[in-house]
């Protein structure tokens, strides 16, 4: 089974998460590759797709949104998962006692859920180096607002265990590591009659 992990990134953090998910899926026995959404023209060769993007100003990066909309028919016809790379820092709860992974859900996820019927979605902590050169005029502007600088602490925290656990769930749903075919199934092989316990 071939799995594509397509991602949109501005500063590289989301690329790192996508590579990690693809590596975990590969370790689980699937054939997985991480590629920037801009490089993916055809979903034909893939049996399942994970789409990831960074969140900026409450929105999923445009190339990720465009990719999801453009390929909606093919995506909806396959097992698909969405992830966003977003909140900075390590605290799960903000000063309003809200779960930051929930409040950082990109605005487009409601629309994309209706379009693609993903099997799952996940927001992961992001990473950002405030010393990195700003990308685009918009970022150049907001990056220097005192309120934004205060809200964007330096850090490269990524919740690798959560990322690995999510990838493991996907692998399990895709049947990775499961024995295939009737020869491995005691019911199909007539070893146990349907309706009886496998332990019996």
Ligand X SMILES: Cc1cc2nc3c(=O)[nH]c(=O)nc-3n(C[C@H](O)[C@H](O)[C@H](O)COP(=O)(O)O)c2cc1C
Q: Binding residues for ligand X, per CB under 6 A?
A: 9-14, 54-58, 85-88, 104, 126-128, 139, 142-143, 148, 152
What are phi and psi for residue 103, nearest 5 degrees?
-75, -15
**Nearer to ligand X (CB atom), residue 37 or residue 54:** 54
Q: Distance between CA 15 and CA 34 in Å, rounded?
A: 8
Grouping H, G, I as helix, E, B as strand and the rest as coil, residue 72 is helix
**Nearer to ligand X (CB atom), residue 30 or residue 67:** 67
Minimum CB separation from ligand X for residue 136, in Å? 9
Minimum CB separation from ligand X for residue 70, in Å? 20
What are phi and psi for residue 190, nearest 5 degrees?
80, 10
Minimum CB separation from ligand X for residue 94, in Å? 11
Q: Using N-to-C axis directions, what is the helix angle for 160-173 and 13-27, rounded to 10°?
A: 50
- For residue 6, the cross-strand partners are 35, 51
**Nearer to ligand X (CB atom), residue 58 or residue 187:** 58
Q: Distance between CA 122 and CA 100 in Å, rounded?
A: 12
Residue with CB nearest ligand X? 126
**Nearer to ligand X (CB atom), residue 86 or residue 118:** 86
**Nearer to ligand X (CB atom), residue 62 or residue 184:** 62
Residue 99 CA from chain centroid, whole number: 18
Minimum CB separation from ligand X for residue 186, in Å? 46
Minimum CB separation from ligand X for residue 161, in Å? 17
């Amino acid at each position: 089974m071939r799995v594509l992990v397509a991602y949109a990134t501005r500063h590289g953090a989301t690329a790192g998460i996508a590579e990690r998910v693809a590596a975990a899926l590969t370790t689980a026995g699937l054939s997985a590759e991480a590629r920037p959404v801009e490089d993916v023209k055809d979903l034909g060769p893939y049996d399942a797709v994970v789409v990831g993007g960074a969140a900026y100003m409450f929105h999923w990066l445009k190339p990720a949104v465009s990719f999801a909309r453009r390929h909606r028919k093919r995506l909806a016809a396959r097992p698909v998962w969405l992830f966003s790379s977003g909140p900075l820092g390590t605290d799960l709860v903000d000063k309003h006692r809200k779960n930051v992974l929930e409040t950082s859900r990109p605005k487009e996820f409601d629309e994309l859920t209706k379009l693609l019927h993903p099997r799952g979605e996940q927001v992961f902590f992001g990473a950002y180096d405030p010393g990195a050169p700003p990308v685009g005029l918009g970022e150049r502007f907001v990056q220097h607002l005192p309120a934004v600088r205060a809200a964007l602490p330096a850090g490269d925290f990524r919740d690798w265990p959560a990322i690995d656990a999510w990838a493991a769930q996907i692998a399990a749903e895709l049947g990775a590591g499961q024995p295939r075919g009737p020869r491995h199934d005691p019911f199909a092989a007539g070893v146990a009659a349907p309706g009886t316990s496998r332990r019996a």
